Structure 1
Amino acid sequence: MSQSKPIQIVLCFDGTGNTFRADGTETNILKICRMLQRTDEQLVYYQPGIGTEITPGSLAATTLKKGSHLGKSKTISQALGESFDQHVLGGYRFLMRHYRTDGNIYIFGFSRGAYTARFLAEMLDYAGLLGPDNEEMIPFIWEAFSQWKLTRYEGTSKRKSATEFLKNCRETLCRPVSRVKFLGLFDTVNSIADFEINNDTMPTARVIRHAVSIDERRVKFQPVLLDTGTKTQKRIGSQSTTYKERLDPVKTEPLVVPGVPQCVDESHDADIEKNEASSVRLPEEKKKGLDDEEQDLQEIWFPGGHADIGGGFQREANEESQLSHVPLVWMVQEAQRAGIEFDQEKLYRNKCLEKWEQDPSASTHFHEAIRQSSTEGLLHDRIDFGEGVSPISVLAWRIMEYLPIRRSDMQPDGTWKLVHWPLHLGRARCIPSNAVIHGSAIRRLQSNSEYRPANMIIGGGGKSVKEVPAEYGIGQWEIHCCEGDPARETYIRKGCKEHH
């Protein structure tokens, strides 16, 4: 008897306030969801964004739940991400019900939905997955993992206690789950107050793709990058350091990631040998294949604001192809390479795939959509009047720029630090000097003399510069990867190639 095909589960987490719609303001997450194949072998889960109330009243932007306090309003929920745990656990429950041994898990997310996707992937790595009929144990698993995340910077006794609690929950209640096969993120941001200080772990997903906005300026939409240290961002073929849990100075047993073999430093060998008998180990045959492969990670910067990366704006009458189209095409093609099954006709119809058949016009339409998106797509700035956003919305977001809101700020040495001061005041995002820039940004620089993002052209030192001095031009760039491919071509700052 032939072996049945492993089940594929695709989870899609939409952006802040975004929900299911068909009015031309669909996000890239919803577009991806619509283009996916739906079969008995590939199941699809879609979740509206954090802050979205799934009721008829959610159609009104000012709707409050009956009898609720101000702190429970949709607006406040959008700003603070109050419903974060329900969103993570919604996806977790779906996996509980449908995951089967050796299945493939793919996760997409936009905005805070991308942070939800990343958090869920880490939860699967470190906590495992409950059985399908064990929902009453979900609060214990959430408590174990969230407390472990929250105690990473606290005293050693709290840290050790949280680690032991998580380990015991995993060993007693959970089953191991295969390593997430693909994690696709559109401009990850985090306004979840409890977890803002704790982004030092990274999912062990086999393939991670992150599309990041160059031009977003709002203080509450600071990006959560995949690597915020002084070292160069991990690239294709690099070994993920998150296959093990870093140990505290005290001697505690390692937190072994279910389904992923440990990579350990020599300095920890003695401790690990000492605790090897009590550590969680999987059967030898389960350590082969996907779980042994090195991590393939790409974090690429695209032109546009937050929703120009993840989608959600209404297309204007004079706009043939929106800025958000290029990140969509890039993500879809990367996901296909990772094994996700799409409806090919829908991909062609949405100009996400080049058609190499008898009709040459199909290929022309694909290339033209990429070109128009890159060079003519409207850029939306939510804190600037006259940039495609309503004046009331601009005013509301501007007020937040004058509040001492905690945020990550890149330091002169390339590290990141949490700061409240000085006030943000609409400063551009910090872009690392070794960042990988998508070809669409270079094409926009070349075709539009008014597009001169200082944070990109000058680098990390340009975050407070409003106008780029003429001598900088468009900056100095060289090809990084995939030369000539309109969807995948990337650039880096000249002189940074040896660091990649």
Structure 2
Amino acid sequence: MTTPSKKILVFCDGTGLDGLIASDILCDQGASKATNVLRLSRAVKPFRTDSTGRKIPQITFYQSGVGSDSDFNGQGFTTAKLIQAYGRVVASKIRDAYTFIAQNYESGDEIYLFGYSRGAYTARKVAGLIDRIGLLSRRDLGQFFDICSRLQKDPNSVARPTTEIPVKCVGVWDTVGSVTVPKTLGGIVTTPVPKEVLDSLGLTDCSLPNCVKMARHAVAFHENRDVMRVTLWDAPTVDGDNRVKQVWFGGGHSDIGGGGEFRELADITLFWMATEIDSLIELDHSMLWGSHIIPPKGWRGGWGAAQPYNGNAEDMATRVFGSTTREAQITGRIATRLHASLRQSPQPSNPRNMLTVKTIKGTVPKYVELTAGTLEHDLMTKWNSSGQAFHPESPQSVFTRLPATFLGGALDVVGGVVRVSADIVGGVTSALGRLWG
């Protein structure tokens, strides 16, 4: 096997998420708002040492999510919510990620792309562009948008590259579908519901580019909001074939990608992804372990037993758009795998519009078992050997911080547990940023 010159790793975060201005310390359990994209990017070491002792540079680029733009004080722009909702700057995110790779790539380098939510969509589009047009030279990077425009209008007008540039791995969390643009009249937004643009740039959203050698997708089993439709790869998971693994985990969208207040389930998907790439990338395991949840006293469940987020029931801003479970995609023609942790998933405390393994109709997909000695297996062992259990937050702890949060959120009582849901009060515009991932 040829030793790569260097490894280029691009991490694309979800909508409205910017780890560069997050105050969380990632090696601390208090890092509740850090997404898995951010946590994994920070765990990448500067070098990987090969079997000969040679140090291989690992060049990392973290990209904040759509609508996360801020000033030097870390304050977001007032238009950020609209930008989040409509995804109008997805094109610039794709351009920036693609340009970073093209600017730094040399023959023999390894390319890795990671993303969450709309950032996952960005990462996948970048891989598709690399497959479709190759990597432009530094001299030709100014033609990027011209080429993209031609691809959008007539894909056949752009020649395919003569030499394939391989993408070593694409690893994503719960890819949120397509590019959306606002419906306007004379430059004025006429409706909060955007128009959907499928298969942008002439690249099929569901296709896995031929240049991608390894594809990993962690998918939310319990997500039930119609506006959070997942985009699966149409490449099946085949036993014995290591190229594609598309695995369903317990939880809603933010349970899978992280960034929410409760991250017990997000830890499981993070450690799964880290396990999948651990032999390829030099990771600082202490960074991963330092920010994982340690079960507090009183837990009677164990690993994988945290309550999944019921987005349709708990997020009032999305109820108007309806609910849709992902059962059809789980039992569809694409060979699906359920993560072993789903066996421990409890009956939802708020079962409205919630799918469970027991309610799946038809053929139940296979489970993906854990391998002893891996990071994710060690995480399971630590949880189950602690003899403890996790209660997300006691009512007492909520009320101790009520004064600081009440004006920015609303109390939502779900399953007897008081939770604070931010951004519910503030109108549809401020909430739309959370609807389109």
TM value normalised by structure 2? 0.67
| 2:36 is the counterpart of 1:28 | yes
Aligned to 1:396: 317
Once the two structures are superposed, what CA deviation does each residue of 1:170-227 show, in whole Å capped at 9, x if it has no partner?
56xxxx4531101101000124136425424322311101000011122221000112
Aligned to 1:313: 260
2:158 alignment partner, SS class: helix
Q: Is the 8 A contact 2:265 2:304 kept in 1?
A: yes
Aligned to 1:14: 13
The alpha-carbon distance between structure 1 residues 27 and 372, as it changes in their structure 2 partners (threshold 3 A), is farther
Aligned to 1:183: 170
Q: Counterparts of 1:236 and 1:112 in 2: how far apart (Å)? A: 29
The alpha-carbon distance between structure 1 residues 481 and 342, as it changes in their structure 2 partners (threshold 3 A), is same
Larger radius of gyration: 1
- Give 1:428 deviation, angstroms: 1.6
Aligned to 1:48: 64
Task: Map 1:35-434 onto structure 2 (within 5 A).
Answer: 35-39=43-47, 41-55=57-71, 59=75, 63-64=77-78, 73-148=79-154, 162-163=155-156, 165-167=157-159, 170=161, 176=163, 178-193=165-180, 195-196=197-198, 198-204=204-210, 205-227=212-234, 233-235=236-238, 237-238=240-241, 296-315=243-262, 322-337=264-279, 339-350=280-291, 372-376=302-306, 378-385=307-314, 394-399=315-320, 401=321, 425-430=322-327, 431-433=329-331, 434=335
Aligned to 2:27: none
Q: Is the 8 A contact 2:177 2:205 kept in 1?
A: no
Q: Is the 8 A contact 1:11 1:45 kept in 2?
A: yes
Once the two structures are superposed, what CA deviation does each residue of 1:336-365 show, in whole Å capped at 9, x if it has no partner?
13x11212432443459xxxxxxxxxxx99
Unmatched tracts of structure 2, length 5 or more: 25-30, 48-55, 181-195, 379-437
Q: Is the 8 A contact 1:214 1:456 kept in 2?
A: no
Q: AA paired with 2:220?
A: S
Q: Which has the higher contact order (CA 8 A, sep 6+)?
A: 2
- Give 1:146 deviation, angstroms: 3.5
1:41 alignment partner, SS class: strand
Q: Counterparts of 1:49 and 1:89 in 2: how far apart (Å)? A: 13
Q: Counterparts of 1:449 and 1:89 in 2: how far apart (Å)? A: 41
- Give 1:78 deviation, angstroms: 1.7
| C-alpha RMSD of matched pairs (Å) | 3.3
Q: Counterparts of 1:395 and 1:351 in 2: how far apart (Å)? A: 29
- Give 1:9 deviation, angstroms: 0.2
Q: Is the 8 A contact 1:190 1:223 kept in 2?
A: yes
Q: AA paired with 2:360?
A: G
The alignment covers a number of residue pairs equal to 330
Aligned to 2:394: none
| 2:354 is the counterpart of 1:457 | no
> Which has the larger share of helix?
1
Unmatched tracts of structure 1, length 5 or more: 65-72, 149-161, 239-294, 316-320, 353-363, 386-393, 402-424, 462-474, 490-500
